Amino acid sequence: MAVRVIQVGLGPIGERVLCQVIERQGFEAVAAVDVDPEKVGRDVGELLGLEGGRGLAVQGDLAATLASTAADVVALCTTSSLGSIMSDMETILGARLPVVSTTETLSYPHFAQPELSRRLDELAQIAGVAVVGTGVNPGFAMDTIPIVLTAACRNVDSIEVDRLQDASPRRLPFQQKIGAGLAEDLFRDMVSRGELGHVGLGESIAMVAAAMGWKLDRITDIVEPKIAEEDVSSNDVLVKKGQASGIIQDGTGYCDGEPLIKMHMEAYLGAPETVDTVRVFGSPNLTSTIKGIEGDVATASVAVNAIPKALVAKPGLRTMGDLPIVSWWGGGS
Amino acid sequence: MAVRVIQVGLGPIGERVLCQVIERQGFEAVAAVDVDPEKVGRDVGELLGLEGGRGLAVQGDLAATLASTAADVVALCTTSSLGSIMSDMETILGARLPVVSTTETLSYPHFAQPELSRRLDELAQIAGVAVVGTGVNPGFAMDTIPIVLTAACRNVDSIEVDRLQDASPRRLPFQQKIGAGLAEDLFRDMVSRGELGHVGLGESIAMVAAAMGWKLDRITDIVEPKIAEEDVSSNDVLVKKGQASGIIQDGTGYCDGEPLIKMHMEAYLGAPETVDTVRVFGSPNLTSTIKGIEGDVATASVAVNAIPKALVAKPGLRTMGDLPIVSWWGGGS
């Protein structure tokens, strides 16, 4: 039997998740919920640009949807902030449904938000279901992959992760999130207000540290502009020479003052390639290179692929490090 | 508290596993068992070439050791063949201890040996513990890694895995297993008798297929000699031009007649590098390259790293695809 999914949140990522749930074997979309009055009432097929209607109208009231829909799981794709999804989480867990969410700060919230994590873990345990935050990053490229690699090691001293992304083919909100086209001053202002940059680097660092058994003293996370050396453009954005074409972001996890985990991200228009590199320093030393992890597709893929594993996971707040290996599944229901 | 491990089998791999159990935080060696009368009675510290004795003498009787030793898990590193470990498995599961084993055919026995798999699963469930077969290959490089990568995909059409290994730094039994130094005729004779080649390629293919939900019709596994184009040598073996310097092995998994999974291995003296490449064809296409997976260290590492996950796994015959992510752990007990 297909896994019956209620999709909550129909922004760019939520739409992609719902698309996969509709199109892939083993999943069935049983409801879609969004707060946007422009979307409520519309057929999801039409909203997603699929051929033909799906006989499924977007609903506006989460609690009412949960009460009236037989479902196995909720896919929650609303915001990046754990605090702002707590109310929806309480509603969903009150209905005793497991949750897979692309909320970045939910991927490993124990370090940065221990109180909320405890509360959520408690709610999920009471509900007897698992809650998992995941996506391509955080959730896969910069945390799951390095964690998996260390299986081959008898000792690990430190870990470095580099993610280079050409932002040109990404959706416009992503290009905006990395400040493409901003003057340098404005870029820095927005960074200082927390309005720019990748959300989740600290969570990836904390997740890797937890898997390694390293107790971190602190995590740093610094966002700098990548300044265009010549004009560069995507379908949506023109970046002039001297403006920011994207971000350079560095995160470091310190254990007893030593920088044991270093994560470096560059995401900008015109980057030469999209490549993920992991270096594990230990015995043996390992270097992994992955090409082709396309962010927007992959975030939805990782979330959808995590659903079957969340259904069999131990109740509570879980992370990618706790689940059985998340992988694609094409065998149908 | 440290995980108390009984090491069964003190061949080249078993010795390496025991070494890690002794040296790494979080593990404690509580007994070591081997059938070799030359080893029974010797102190494991002396046997492993460690400095100082360990106050732990190798024992010869598995059942007696199990009866007299308080332990949490058995690490079983005796042979490659599932059939030949069944008697020991029954003894160990009779003592209700979980097992992590480097027995290659145990890594995913469901396809090739469904009857034995069912029997073992039943015994493990009755004992209320997990049994896991793993190592670097099978168990990691050619199965876990491709399975993990597909998490980023919305669709997977086919998978190719290439493992190239310079056999020069490997232990002598490995160099013998790949036929280094044999005349081509003798190499082919030994292949035809099943005495040469990597054991586990079919298991890796079956494990990947199961994770993808692909029902395989058949698996092929063909071993050819790599013929040395000039003299080449390791510390232990001299290969003359025209002799076999190692193996070229190709495995294919067919689903509805289509070759969906292709695995290619080359392991020979003088190979230019040691590198593992995975290509996932689908949406998106992914290419992963890992350098540095050194076989002998890594097999022991993967087995030891799997122990904590086997302890919390669902009782029964488990595989790397069922366990929570196996990774190194340095946080102590």
Q: Which two tokens stand for residue B140?
A: 């990691």
The per-residue pLDDT for range B174-201, each reduced to its tens digit, is 888 899 999 999 999 999 999 999 999 9
d(CA A129, CA A123): 9
Shortest CB distance from B152 goes to which of A140, A147, A282? A140
Interchain CB distance below 8 Å, B286 and A284: no
Q: What is the 3-state secondary structure (H, E, C) of A241-277?
A: CCCEEEEEEEEEEEECCEEEEEEEEEEECCCCCCEEE
- Lookup: tokens for A68: 């009236």
pLDDT at residue number B169? 86
Least confident stretch, B77-86, B218-227, B299-308, B324-333:
B324-333
Number of Cβ within a 10 Å radius of residue A287: 16
Report the pLDDT value the prediction gives residue B117, as an integer from 0 to 100.
Answer: 97
**For B309, which DSSP code?**
H
The answer to whether the CB atoms of B287 and A286 lie below 8 A apart is no
Domains in chain B, ordered, with CATH?
3-135+297-318 (3.40.50.720), 144-292 (3.30.360)
Contact A321 B298 (CB under 8 A): no
- Has residue B123 got a pLDDT over 90? yes
**Following CA atoms B297, A149, A329, B132 in sequence, which dihedral angle do they give, to the nearest 10 degrees?**
40
pLDDT band at B294; cut points 50, 70, 90? confident
Please answer yes or no on whether B324 and A323 come within 8 Å at the CB atom: yes
User: How many helical (H) and strand (E) elements, i.e. helices and strands, does chain B have?
Assistant: 10, 14
- ipTM comes to 0.96
Determine the pLDDT at residue A53: 78
Tokens 């754990």: give the residue.
Answer: A82
Residue of B nearest to A292 (CA): B286
**Residue ranges in chain A whose pLDDT is less than 70:** 332-333
In DSSP notation, B244-300 reads: EEEEEEEEEEEETTEEEEEEEEEEETT-S--EEEEEEEEES-EEEEEE---HHHHHH
Q: Which residue of A has its CA nearest to B280?
A: A292
Of A211, A284, A293, the CB nearest to B297: A284
3-state secondary structure of B202: helix
pLDDT at A332: 60
Q: Do A151 and B302 touch (CB under 8 A)?
A: yes
With a CB cutoff of 8 Å and minimum separation 6, the contacts of B67 are B95
d(CA B193, CA A229) in angstroms, rounded, equals: 64
Asked if residue B333 has pLDDT above 70, the reply is no
Scanning every residue of chain A, which has its alpha carbon at the shortest distance from the alpha carbon of B17? A154
Do the Cβ atoms of A151 and B330 come within 8 Å? Answer: no
Q: Which residues of B touch A24 (CB under 8 A)?
A: 154-155
Q: Report the predicted TM-score, pTM, of the whole model to 2 decimal places.
A: 0.97
Most B CBs within 10 Å: which of A19, A21, A157, A301, as the mutation test of the B interface? A301
Contact A325 B323 (CB under 8 A): yes
Q: Residue B289 is nearest to which of A148, A289, A332, comparing CB atoms?
A: A289
* B241's tokens: 């031009």
Which amino acid, one-letter code, is at B266? Answer: E
Q: What is the pLDDT of residue B332?
A: 60
B152:A329 CB<8 A: no
Nearest by CB to residue A292, choosing from B286, B291, B331, is B286
Q: What separation in angstroms does the CA of B223 have from each of A248, A280, B82, B263, B271?
A: 48, 33, 21, 12, 17
B226-249 average pLDDT score: 94
Cβ within 8 Å, pair B302-A156: no
Q: CA separation (Å) from A311 to A4, A92, B25?
A: 11, 15, 33
Residue with tokens 């079919």: B202
**Separation CA A210–CA A216 (nearest Å):** 9
10 Å CB burial of residue B291 (0-12, 13-18, 19+) is middle
Nearest to A287 among B136, B292, B328 (CB): B292
Chain B hits for A166, Cβ within 8 Å: none
Preceding omega of A284 cis (within 30 degrees of 0): yes
Sign of CA dihedral B250, B255, B256, B260: negative
- Cβ of B285 within 8 Å of Cβ of A292? The answer is yes
